[in-house]
Structure 1
């Protein structure tokens, strides 16, 4: 059976750890594998890191840049060279590709999210393999994906993928870091992200000075993807041919089972794509009404307001212990919220001097996280 597959490969798999030079043998094997999958009728998307590492190598830099402007300049140099290598390799196999550079800002507007969806669908329909990366040259901190693990999960959700493969520098998820703990045990199947607490999983940062992600970002990416019905796999990036084996049923790496009833695309967009601009702290009655009763949020249930936000911005809903349990799109600004918090809906026109929405967040714009 054919399916839609998103493959994310990290900098540590694409480059040689000692020099930062591209690992051309790994790249060539990856390209051959993805082309074979495409020729077998699958729809394939590649999310590729490596622009920063390639740019550093090209410019002769020995340390990772720290200043934002320098990071963006180095990524711009590397991205062109990286896509050139991909194009040469895929062209040898007569497989067309497309470069897609995204920032979170491209997706936070609902219209932009829909446009991105339509573009991906057309590319896949044409038999093209889109190669996706964050547009580091123009991204600003508050609208960055942060790492390509998160980007790959959002892309997998966007294109309604069946599989997300995250190729990294370890062959699976372990109960502890296997590089420092000889008693670490591999975890082959995760049926629920909460299960990792039972395994007492320890997560650390990437060992590569060239990359940005660690296992913790991959677990978060798995949470995003599985909540949208995407089966997610963490496996060794140095052996891309494992993709075919896993699709054939081999138990390689760590698999995260998808949720049986994924959230719809709009709720996924609210929960995972939008950047929360503030927090609302709720009383126990409001929390129960939302979590158990599926109710909208009313002003009367709000205890405290944090942050500065405008109507239709995303905010986090938290309990008294600052634990987030939901997100939603607000109908009022933060300054308005400060005035109406704890008040009944019928009091809002008198307090604000005009009639507004009865709800602070309508249940259609609210999702439990």
Structure 2
């Protein structure tokens, strides 16, 4: 049974495990103060879901905005990296304590997890994070997850919690992700346009869907926007996870949005294995392969990537690294785990299989990237 409607996010059989993401614009008002009364209604909804038997994971922004107000820093704490990191350090304490208190009012325990990009990009650390989430859920705890902005830099950060929520859903084997935002969903043009119409359901994010998005957060507090939500939807849809964007502004936001059927639902496009979901969700790469049109067609037909189809090799990767696969125009068409390091891949690019051994001086592997370790986008 799969999620097919917004109401299905409340169905225990279709969605036994749900990730809820709350953005800064919802948690913090324009003065940088926590919207505690609103958050109390969300905690009540989470407790109700737990009582129904549904496991809930929360991905929560807001620490930078909260901390910036307490430290009286300009630009919501995002003027410099040092400001953002200091703001996050202070704000995260308040945020965690508030969640613990509000959930405890319903006899529910909260557990905090702070993650960086590296925690979900490296396979071993990804599995460790997944194991921690599973143990918390088995213990009846609601994990409250945020990016560790107090140490994250531009090189090791997600940059938005929308994609973090999708990656957490993968790691947790969740069936659904709810992105609570300050808009009703995705519109076919800017929501301020009087002719704009909300898109109710999408199966497969395309270039045309991306063209509908407007970057940036309307509140100016967060780091996300509709573009980041579509990127999160792409991660989720390849892993068989349904994702919805709903308006979380009013009190009791989840119940109101689902009951009114207002939002945009992104339906799963396929259901990759756990390993392929991890590959498909990767956001950072140490290198890439540019391949010809014939190679791309072969990959789409389920073939492995062979040296003969490679035009160019870039980066500094090692065997076992997940790298990007691009077409001649530079568009990423796939991701995969390389069987060769950069030097070997560069040495054998364009060679037929019977030529590879002579160039390497040893027996070659069956492919540069095996089909079992490759994900088509």
Within the alignment, does 1:272 sit opposite 2:285 as a pair?
no
1:255 pairs with 2:290: no
What is the aligned-residue RMSD (CA, Å)?
Answer: 1.9
Query: Residues 70, 34 of structure 1: CA spacing in aligned structure 2 closer, same or farther, 3 A cutoff?
Result: same
| C-alpha distance 198-62 of structure 1, shift in aligned 2 (>3 A) | closer
Which of 116, 119, 127 is the matching residue for 2:132? 119
Kindly indicate whether residue 213 of structure 2 is the aligned counterpart of residue 205 of structure 1.
no
Aligned with residue 15 of structure 1, among 7, 28, 48: 28
- Residues 191, 300 of structure 1: alpha-carbon distance in 2 compared, 3 angstrom cutoff: closer
For residues 208-247 of structure 1, the aligned pairs below 5 Å read 208-239=219-250, 241-245=252-256
Which of 328, 334, 344 is residue 336 of structure 1 equivalent to? 344
Matching residue of 1:322? 330
3-state SS of 2:281 partner: helix
The equivalent position to 2:115 in structure 1, one of 86, 102, 108, is 102
**1:33 maps to which residue?**
45
Match of 2:3 in 1: none
Does the 8 Å CA contact 2:335/2:375 hold for their aligned counterparts? yes
How far 1:319 moved relative to its partner?
A: 1.6
Residue 240 of structure 1 and its aligned partner are, at CA, apart by: 5.4
- Deviation at residue 145 of structure 1 after TM alignment: 1.5
Where in structure 2 are there 5+ consecutive unaligned residues? 1-10
Separation in structure 2 between the aligned mates of residue 162 and residue 205 of structure 1, nearest angstrom: 27
State the aligned residue count: 363
TM-score, with structure 2 as normaliser: 0.90
Q: How many angstroms apart in 2 are the aligned matches of 1:318 and 1:98?
A: 40
The question of whether the paired residues in 2 share the 8 Å contact of 1:274 and 1:314 is answered with no
Please list the CA deviations of residues 260-283 of structure 1 after superposition, one character each: whole Å capped at 9, or x if unmatched: x41111111111135222221112
Following the alignment from structure 2 to structure 1, what is the Cα–Cα distance between the partners of residues 89 and 197? Answer: 40
Which residues of 2 match residues 104-183 of structure 1 at below 5 A? 104-179=117-192, 181-183=193-195
Q: 1:199 to 1:107 in 2, by over 3 A?
A: closer
Please point out which of 270, 275, 290 is paired with 1:281. Answer: 290
Q: How far has the Cα of 1:299 moved from its partner?
A: 1.1
Cα offsets for 1:189-211 (capped at 9, x unmatched): 223323x7279624231122211
User: Which residue, 65, 68, 79 being the options, matches 1:53?
Assistant: 65
Which segments of structure 1 move beyond 4 Å, counting only runs of 4 or more? none
* Residue number in structure 2 paired with 1:302: 310
Aligned pairs for 1:81-100 within 5 A: 81-100=94-113
**The one of 54, 58, 62 aligned to 2:74:** 62
In 2, Cα distance between equivalents of 1:355 and 1:141: 40
Alpha-carbon contact 1:177-1:204 (below 8 Å) kept = no
Aligned counterparts of 1:236 and 1:284: Cα–Cα separation in 2: 42
8 Å CA contact 1:20–1:210 kept in 2: the answer is: no
**What TM-score, normalized to structure 1?**
0.92
